[in-house]
Amino acid sequence: RKEVEQDPGPFNVPEGATVAFNCTYSNSASQSFFWYRQDCRKEPKLLMSVYSSGNEDGRFTAQLNRASQYISLLIRDSKLSDSATYLCVAMDSNYQLIWGAGTKLIIKP
């Protein structure tokens, strides 16, 4: 079983729609969690950290459920520029980052 699992997609979503990504992690000792965005043939860039209380940044909302070992990312009012691959990451106490394989999102006009 992969340590961090994501639905690979692709998710084909019309512009303006709301889209949700889910991610599960197997290491209960994981301490920090992140969502990264990766555009085609580019390096990953941090989208947002995920806090236990949930956090929001504009159209993006991230949630963490430690009991279920589950992380989510919600994108509201999706834009064409949101098309990318979204990577879920868990960090353990040794600063080791375990990456999901990513979920590809395609926003259609």
Which residues make up the interface to another protein (CB under 8 A)?
4, 8, 32, 34, 36, 41-46, 49, 87, 89, 91, 95-97, 99-102
Nearer CB in complex with another protein: 49/76: 49
Nearest approach in angstroms of CB 44 to another protein is 6
Give the SS3 label for residue 81. helix
Answer yes or no: are the C-beta atoms of 62 and 71 closer than 8 Å: yes
Nearer CB in complex with another protein: 78/88: 88
Answer yes or no: are the C-beta atoms of 26 and 3 closer than 8 Å: yes
Nearer CB in complex with another protein: 69/76: 69
Q: Looking up tokens 């259609």, which residue turns up?
A: 108
Nearest approach in angstroms of CB 105 to another protein is 15
Strand order in the sheet with 19-25: 4-6, 19-25, 70-75, 60-65, 55-57
